[in-house]
Amino acid sequence: MKPPGGAVLVRGLGLFDATTLIVGSVIGSGIFVAPSIMAGYVQSPAMLLGLWIVGGILSLFGAIAYAELAAAMPRAGGQYVFLGRAFGPLWGFLYGWTFLFAINTGFIAAVSVAFAKYVGVFLPAVGEGTILFSVGRPFTTAQAVALVVVLALTWVNIAGLRLGALVQNAFTVAKVAAIAALFLLAFALGRGSGANFASPGGALALGPEGIGLGLFAAIAVAMSKALFAYDAWNSATFAAEEMKDPERNLVRSLLLGTLSVTVIYCSAVAVYIYMVPVPEMAGVRDNRIGAEAAQRMLGSLGERFIAVAILVSAFGCVNGLVLSGARVVYAMARDGLFFPSGAEIHPVYRTPARALAIQGAVAAVLTLTGTYSDLLTLTAFSSLLFNTLTVVGLFVLRRSAPDLPRPYRAWGYPVLPFLYVAVSSFFLFFILKGDPRNSGMGLLLTALGLPAYLYWRRDVVPARS
């Protein structure tokens, strides 16, 4: 189905753009906040750092599998397309539905709220404690700032692919430079302690939040926070139709982006442990472990430095999520499985303007609901569930579509994809056990997509018969 109006997407993204889209979309607020939340569940430095290493390896294994699928099917929508080809249109739709109403928009909302929290470092009037008005529930200045971020970046990406890519490139370079400076300064100034890497409570020490859950559930819930920070490593696949030489650049960007993020994240967590003993991390105000580490390193100047770094990081992250995510909505609408207007391409800017607007509206609503930690678990569980199913789809397509053109074949197949599925399944089970409320909400949102699919599918079936 061609998009209404006759306009088509433009191929304007190169390898650097695709790589910064991944790095910029992944690195947001999570790395500056999540380690403190995780310390409430696990308090062994080795375990805390180990979860970030495992998260990076898991993401890399996933990226290796996705690279084969992306090179074989370089269409807008990425994972929506892969799942639809492997398991049928229902599974592609359920992913797209959950992506729109929980996964991507939940990330956008959570990171926008985190951005607003750090604006409060410079403008004390901005915060979750400052209420502008109440209609059933309070509307705070932090929510107002988060809404402005969502709406502004939605407009930027409607106004052109190159404009959105330029914003992404600039903010990604800035955030990586800031984290690198934090790492170098920490060990150059020597104000932390190597003794913080020891674990007096043992290698399996649990925090106050984890003791009641048990070892495996505590590890899994802590891991969900790290997985939230790693998520969006597949973001470049959503914009495949707008990429130059996608068969080559998609593969390279997935691998380069995922490896880069893993190194950056593990370096940052090592700095936090060096500066702040893990048992103290859980008690950091508002879980702002990045600010706490920088303050101990450089005093009040450090706190302001990290606040600026987080603002840059979060803003760039939201931009990347907005840019890439709307392409899933566009792909669904183009296939007749969503409102037809979602497939409209702006006649001047050549962007999926209606899809961007729909995504922005859902993200705006989510900024008014839930807490940051709840959004982390809900979105991470839903995302990991579909990521696991997509890697299973690699095995399915190797058998059901052996003649599918494959410019790239996944390294280590079938061992690495199998390890991804096995480890992910372990964490899915125990995340559901450890936080059934928010994980269950993710499953409920997915289930609500079934009647919606039947509604839109009734018009698609006759056209394809």
Tell me the pLDDT tens digit for each residue of 412-436.
Answer: 999 999 999 998 898 888 878 877 8
**In the predicted structure, residue 57 carries a pLDDT above the cut 50:** yes
Specify if 6 maps to a domain: no
At 140, phi and psi to the nearest 5? Answer: -100, 165
**In the predicted structure, residue 333 carries a pLDDT above the cut 90:** yes
pLDDT of residue 28: 83
pLDDT of residue 362: 93
**In the predicted structure, residue 400 carries a pLDDT above the cut 70:** yes
**In the predicted structure, residue 327 carries a pLDDT above the cut 90:** yes
Specify if 97 maps to a domain: yes
Specify if 439 maps to a domain: yes
CA angle 413, 419, 423 (to 5 degrees): 155
Residue range 319-323: average pLDDT? 91
Q: What percent of the chain is modeled with pLDDT above 90?
A: 47
Q: With beta carbons less than 8 A apart as the criterion, state whether 120 and 129 touch.
A: no
> Residue 88: pLDDT band by 50, 70, 90 thresholds?
very high
> Residue 162: pLDDT band by 50, 70, 90 thresholds?
confident
pLDDT of residue 461: 46
**Which CATH number fits the domain that encloses residue 202?**
1.20.1740.10
pLDDT of residue 268: 93
pLDDT in tens, 3-40: 555 667 888 889 999 999 999 988 887 888 889 999 99
Residue range 379-404: average pLDDT? 91
Specify if 151 maps to a domain: yes
Specify if 187 maps to a domain: yes
What is d(CA 129, CA 426) in angstroms, rounded to the nearest whole number? Answer: 38
> Residue 136: pLDDT band by 50, 70, 90 thresholds?
low
pLDDT of residue 52: 96
pLDDT of residue 464: 36
**In the predicted structure, residue 289 carries a pLDDT above the cut 70:** yes
Residue range 170-196: average pLDDT? 89
**In the predicted structure, residue 465 carries a pLDDT above the cut 50:** no
pLDDT of residue 127: 67
pLDDT of residue 345: 93
Residue type present at position 104: N
What is d(CA 259, CA 240) in angstroms, rounded to the nearest whole number? Answer: 20
Indicate the number of domains in the chain: 1
pLDDT in tens, 185-238: 888 888 889 999 987 777 788 888 888 888 888 888 888 888 878 888 888 899
Range of the domain at 407: 15-458
pLDDT of residue 124: 83
What is d(CA 351, CA 261) in angstroms, rounded to the nearest whole number? Answer: 28
Beta bridge partners of 139: 133
pLDDT of residue 462: 40
Specify if 7 maps to a domain: no
Nearest CA to 292 out of 440, 422, 186 is that of 186
pLDDT in tens, 241-278: 889 898 889 999 999 999 999 999 999 999 999 999 99
pLDDT in tens, 445-463: 889 999 999 999 876 544 3
Beta bridge partners of 42: 206
Q: How far is CA 255 from CA 65, 404, 438, in A?
A: 10, 22, 31
Which residue pairs, CB below 8 angstroms and at least 24 apart, start in 38-41?
Answer: 38/222, 38/225, 38/226, 39/207, 39/278, 39/279, 39/281, 39/282, 39/289, 40/207, 40/208, 40/209, 40/210, 40/282, 41/206, 41/207, 41/209, 41/210, 41/213, 41/218, 41/219, 41/221, 41/222
The burial of 228, by beta-carbon neighbours within 10 Å (0-12 exposed, 13-18 middle, 19 or more buried), is given as buried
**In the predicted structure, residue 89 carries a pLDDT above the cut 90:** yes
3-state SS assignment for residue 447? helix
Nearest CA to 62 out of 436, 453, 464, 423 is that of 423
Q: How far is CA 457 from CA 85, 137, 339, in A?
A: 16, 37, 12
What is the CA 169 to chain-centroid distance, rounded?
A: 17
Q: With beta carbons less than 8 A apart as the criterion, state whether 337 and 457 touch.
A: yes
> Residue 45: pLDDT band by 50, 70, 90 thresholds?
very high
What is the residue-averaged pLDDT of the chain?
87
Specify if 3 maps to a domain: no
Specify if 392 maps to a domain: yes
